[in-house]
Structure formats: structure tokens, C-alpha cells
Amino acid sequence: MIKFFRKIRKKLLEQSKIRSYFVYAFGEIVLVVIGILIALQINNWNEVRKDQKQEIKLLKQLQTDLTANEVEINGLIKRININKAAMDSLLTNLKNEEYVAKFPIYVALIHRKSFFNNSNSGYKLIGNGMAKLIANDSLLNGILQLYEKDFVNILTRQDLMNDKIENKMYPLTNELFKINTNISLQLNEFDVVASEIYIPLDFVSLTKNQNYINNLIQLNKTFEIRLSYLKLTKEKLALVLQLIDRELKK
């Protein structure tokens, strides 16, 4: 092909057809430019297709991670609702000065800690420079807010709750209760078999121990706040999963 064009140029020059030569040369340049543009467009199409495949792979990983986190949050809500229900019953018994057979179980349940296992493989990929693959800005912002704000908040509230149990309740419980370890009881669906049940040394005195009751009220407030944040995060997470599902169906 190059040899063919070269022969035409040579023939035009030999025939002194300068104008025809320039017209031909211009046409040849146009053809070269068009060829380059076509090559660039094909390359761009290939890059777009490559990015789209990478985006789908990333979105599927995020979908897997966030679905796992949704399961975690649902489990946490159930666990903390159990904490809360036990606490409400405990406070009612103390207020009414009424000792019931389940009282030691209520005390055991308010000491139950719960932890959020954050699945974040997809988020790590975003942090490693793959954020540009997500074309939907609203979706990207939603994902970033979940990982950088909402899940961080869950972990912060988790630490506050578990710190209160560990450093406020356990010392008081060790002082005011006898721990019965000669028992095997599954307290709820999330627990392994429990081996510690807390029996008050003096129930009547316990009902008048304002320091103990105040700490119970503060811990109960921690349960309430944690539940509130978990429910809000659950709603946001569900919306993000819907957006991911729409993108994957396009």
C-alpha cells in the first residue's frame, strides 16, 4: 500500500502536476489522520470495556462484603435487643423490689458483649486506586460514607458499650454478686452455653444501691444509642445494595 502511494506521488511530480500533487498529499494526510483517530477510538473502546469488566468485578465484591455486613448488623440488632430486654426487666425488678427466678439470667445477659466483623475487601480495593472504576458518583459516595462514617461509628459505639460492661459493670458485679459457675445454660440463640450466672449477695440492699442502679441506667442508654445507630446504618446499607444491584443489571 505504501509502495502504491509512493508511485502515485512520483508520477505526479514527474508530470509536473504540482496542484494535483498537493491535493493528493492533503488527501493522504487526511487518510492518515482518520486512521489514527479510528485506532485511538478502538483503543478507547477496549479501555472502556476493560474498565467496565473491572467495575463489575469490584461491584460484585462490594455486594458480597456489604451483604455480609448486613447480616452482621441484623445479628447485632437482635443481640442488643436481648441486652436491652434483659436490662428493662432487671431495672423493673429492682424498682419494684421483686426478686424473680430469672433475675440472675437478666444480670448475665446485660454482660453479653457483641462485636461487628466488618467485611471490607472491596473497600480496600477502592482505597488502592480503583474508586475511578465506579461510574455512578452517588453509589461511590454511598459506599464511602458507609465505610468511612457509619461502620466506624458502629465500632466506636461497640467499644463504648463493651468498655462500660468491662470497666463499670464487672467490678460492681464482682462486688455485689456471687457467680455461680455450676450451671450449663444457653441464654439465647446467639450464645454458646453459658457457665456464669450472677446471684445477688443481698437483693434488698441491691435495690437501694443507687450507684449500681445508675450504672445500669447508663449502660441501658448505651444499648439504646447503639441500636439507634445500627438501625440507621441498616437503612443506608440497604439503599446502597439496591444501587449496586441496579448497576450490575445494566
Q: What is the pLDDT of residues 13-71, one digit of tens each?
A: 455 545 554 554 555 565 556 666 665 565 565 555 665 788 889 999 999 999 999 99
Angle at the Cα of 80 from the Cα atoms of 77 and 83, rounded to 5 degrees: 155
* 191 assigned to some structural domain: yes
Q: Which amino acid is at 223?
A: F
Confirm if 142 and 166 have CB atoms less than 8 A apart: no
- Amino acid 11: pLDDT: 57
Average pLDDT over residues 153-174: 95
Average pLDDT over residues 109-127: 93
CA distance 104 to 206: 13
CA dihedral 135, 138, 139, 140 (to 10 degrees): 70
pLDDT in tens, 218-231: 999 999 999 999 99
CB atoms within 10 A of CB 165: 18
* 35 assigned to some structural domain: no
Q: Which residues contact 93 (CB under 8 A, 6 or more apart)?
A: 99, 100, 103, 106
116: confidence class by pLDDT, cuts 50, 70, 90: very high
pTM score over 0.85? no
Query: Number of structural domains, the chain?
Result: 1
Structural domain of 82: 58-249
> In this structure, what C-alpha cell is assigned to residue 19?
496542484
* 82 assigned to some structural domain: yes
CA distance 162 to 158: 6
* 209 assigned to some structural domain: yes
Q: Decide if pLDDT at 133 tops 80.
A: yes
